Amino acid sequence: MRKLVTTMAVMLLATTAAFAQTREVIDDAGRTVQIPEKPQRIIAMHEALIALPLIELGFDVIGVYGRADDGASIYDVDFIKSVFGDDPSLQIGGIGPVGDIDLEKLRALKPDLIVGMGRQLAQSEILSAIAPVYLQTTMAGSESGFSIEEQLAKAFGRTAVFDVKRASYLERVEEVRASLPEDPRGKTYLAIIVFDQISAVRDVSGAIQAIRDLGYEPYDWANRVTNEPAKSRGFAVPLSSEEFALLDPDLLVIMNSYMSADHSEGGIRARLDAIAPGWSRFMRAAKEDQIVFLNSAEVATPTIRSALHTLAAFEEWGR
Amino acid sequence: MIVTRALDGRRVVLFESGLKVRVGDLAALGGLLTAILAAAIVSLTTGTTPITLGDAAASLWRGPDSGDLSFAIWDVRLPRILMGVMVGGSIALTGAMLQSLSQNPLADPGLLGLSQGSMTALMVIFVLFPATPQGVLPLAALGGGLAVGALLIFLVGRGNAGGMAILLMGIAVETSLSSMTSILVLYTPPEVSLALAEWMAGSLFRSSWDSLATFTPWFALGVPAILLLGRSLRSYDMGDQVAMSLGENLPFSKPIILVTAVLLTSAAVSAVGPLAFLGVMAPHLANFISPTSGRARLMLSVAVGALLVVCADMMTRGFAGDIPLPTGLAIVMLGVPMFIVTLRLRAMRRMRGQ
């Protein structure tokens, strides 16, 4: 009898513990998902937009799209290395090529949570057989700065970690603003990235968060170009080189494509000269030398660390 | 059932029902089915989880369980192999049907705009109605394909136009729809365009028992298509005039062939995405293996299409590692060299014959 009671008590406790270890959340796709209370092994379905914010929040990201088995990026840009440095603990495994996930490899990593992007519904149905899949919206148009990281922190119970990091970051903002030659508050900025064409950088990145927190206001470029670009187009939206030269922000922030091997000021200027010849003679910000050059691989992710890289570049420019 | 010789001197198997099948075609089909089986067995042992032939056989005998090996066999590899067989067979069958219908060796579901019709419908859903449940997508693909089929029938007339007219109208429709999808991609949010790019590359990654259950009825449509349309297609091979003189009812059979092609194509596109060039390639390879027409040609094309897709999928899993190798590209890498070699060999045979 005693054995029976003990067994029942153990079973009851185990069941209670099992329930206590998971909780129900509604993801950004409106799905109700049972996720672990404290996720230990996460697979991220996008490196820059999902994996990096999770790593910054202290989660153990064990697999990501676009990585080889040895952790090397199969693309020209390695965002993890660019943003967090060459940290051996961040050797994250791959889950197969983009578009053809290796389900066997993914399962072998034994994830307890998979975090995908808002529209990866078809994939999530397949992946749910391996681990719960939480879909996080990353480009719906309402995100800005490092809001994705803030939302992930809230969803997975790491708000305190996020708040500490943000507080430290805001102190750094004050420090850098004080070091600038003049108070940036009220001045306008235009951030561009140079791919095959010039593109205006939208809101989702640590770079834009830092620039705005310093006090710069977005230059209203959308209403000053001939073709008003579509909304909700993600990280950047193309501008014609002619339209670009007509814009008149107080500060110009320029970065080269993340795929580019050259992020130096000379390299970026040369690329921009090839696309928009004479831009530096037309634009007021260029004539007044109000230009900050950034490394897009460091600053383009929606993380606090990317925002800190941006502040470092502004501090350097202020000197 | 007796083996005898046909009028052209070739050996045929004569069944009691009166059905005649050439021995060469039977041998070719037997060889292809053996090759598919062999490819499927190798495919079962190819992938990230190391699995020997014995392990695979034991797992298949035991049935599914919760282990890694069972997951690899039952949840990943087996559905992919079966989906590969069905999708490859369907697209190849469609290609063979359309080539006979249009009397043009280049015709395939892609060239006639049928695949593009399905793709455009799916993209419209992705862009304008992103919250649409996944289960609706095959129906949307079907709707898009049927719309293109109906448009083609309308444009070429019910049976009065020749095969070249169907082909040219198909190319015009395909080009217009391609432009429309390009515009849609331009105005699609990046999250959606990323998902679209993955899907458009073609992959068997989403194969599961559920998707197989959805696709099987469409694949099953191929059986009556071969049995009922094979004879008509043999007449079409000789040209519309001859087909009519042989008693073929063109205004009746042309729309039926087109609609069957649309149904098979749309189902395949919604399951794995577009698999370019397969519809052109598979019937040509089948024709090289055993030059024939009618039902035999359709069946051999199905077998070649199935074999190509199973092998291509094995390539994406086994040899590519972490290099992104979409199934569509693997099919091209595998099939195009064979296609070129067979064309060269055929040309050499022809020269020798002269």
Residues of chain B with a CB closer than 8 angstroms to some CB in chain A: 47-49, 68, 71-72, 75-76, 126, 130-131, 134, 187, 189-192, 194-195, 197-199, 201, 203, 205-206, 208, 316-317, 320-327
In chain A, whose CA is at the least distance from the CA of B137? A122
Residues with Cβ within 8 Å of residue B60, at least 6 apart in sequence: B73, B78
Per-residue confidence band for A171, with pLDDT thresholds at 50, 70 and 90: very high
pLDDT of residue A87: 82
Do A176 and A307 meet the contact criterion of CB atoms below 8 Å apart? no
In chain B, whose CA is at the least distance from the CA of A138? B191
Three-class DSSP category at B2? strand
Q: Which of A73, A95, A100 to mutate to test the interface with B (most CBs of B within 10 A)?
A: A100
Phi-psi region of B294 (alpha: psi -120 to 50; beta: other; left: phi over 0): left
> What's at B303, amino acid-wise?
A
Q: Decide if B323 and A74 are in contact by the 8 Å CB cutoff.
A: yes
- What would the mean pLDDT of B145-163 be, rounded to a whole number? 76
Q: Which of B137, B194, B207 to mutate to test the interface with A (most CBs of A within 10 A)?
A: B194
Report yes or no: A108 at the B interface, CB cutoff 8 Å. yes
Do B259 and B149 meet the contact criterion of CB atoms below 8 Å apart? yes
B206 → closest Cβ in A122, A138, A233: A122
Do A259 and A236 meet the contact criterion of CB atoms below 8 Å apart? no
Q: pTM value? A: 0.83
- Helix B250-272 and helix B209-220: axis angle, to 10°? 170
Residues of A in contact with B192 (CB under 8 A): 119
Q: Decide if A102 and B317 are in contact by the 8 Å CB cutoff.
A: yes
Which A residues 113-172 touch B at CB under 8 Å?
Answer: 117-123, 125-126, 129, 137-141
pLDDT of residue B293: 82
Å between A120 CA and nearest CA of chain B: 7
Per-residue confidence band for A19, with pLDDT thresholds at 50, 70 and 90: very low
Do A50 and A72 meet the contact criterion of CB atoms below 8 Å apart? no
Lowest mean pLDDT among A113-127, A244-258, A291-305: A113-127
pLDDT of residue B303: 96
B326 → closest Cβ in A99, A101, A121: A99
Tokens linked to A290:
């109000």
- What would the mean pLDDT of A76-86 be, rounded to a whole number? 88
Q: DSSP code of A196?
A: S
Per-residue 3-state assignment (H helix, E strand, C coil) for B282-326: HHHHHHHHCCCCHHHHHHHHHHHHHHHHHHHHHHHHHCCCCCCCC
Q: Decide if A100 and B130 are in contact by the 8 Å CB cutoff.
A: no
pLDDT of residue A18: 46
Q: Decide if B130 and A119 are in contact by the 8 Å CB cutoff.
A: yes
Three-class DSSP category at A200? strand
The answer to ipTM > 0.90 is no
> What's at A318, amino acid-wise?
G
In chain A, whose CA is at the least distance from the CA of B317? A102
In terms of Cα–Cα distance, which of B74, B88, B20, B97 is closest to B261? B97
pLDDT of residue A115: 95
**pLDDT (tens digit per residue) in B20-46:** 788 888 999 999 999 999 999 999 999
Q: Decide if B48 and A104 are in contact by the 8 Å CB cutoff.
A: yes
User: In sequence order, what DSSP letters do the residues of B119-173 get, joined into one string?
Assistant: HHHHHHHHHH-TT--GGGHHHHHHHHHHHHHHHHHHHHTTTTS-HHHHHHHHHHH
- Does residue B132 surpass a pLDDT of 60? yes
Q: Decide if B47 and A122 are in contact by the 8 Å CB cutoff.
A: no
- What would the mean pLDDT of A45-65 be, rounded to a whole number? 92
- What would the mean pLDDT of B197-216 be, rounded to a whole number? 83
Q: How many CB pairs under 8 A join A and B?
A: 95
**pLDDT (tens digit per residue) in B291-347:** 888 888 999 999 999 999 999 999 888 875 656 678 888 888 888 898 888 888 888
Q: For chain B, what percent of residues have pLDDT higher than 70?
A: 92
A119 → closest Cβ in B72, B191, B316: B191
Q: Decide if B203 and A104 are in contact by the 8 Å CB cutoff.
A: no
Å between A135 CA and nearest CA of chain B: 12
**pLDDT (tens digit per residue) in B178-192:** 888 877 776 666 666
pLDDT of residue A11: 52
Q: Which of A27, A104, A148, A199 to mutate to test the interface with B (most CBs of B within 10 A)?
A: A104
Tokens linked to A141:
């148009």
Do B60 and B73 meet the contact criterion of CB atoms below 8 Å apart? yes
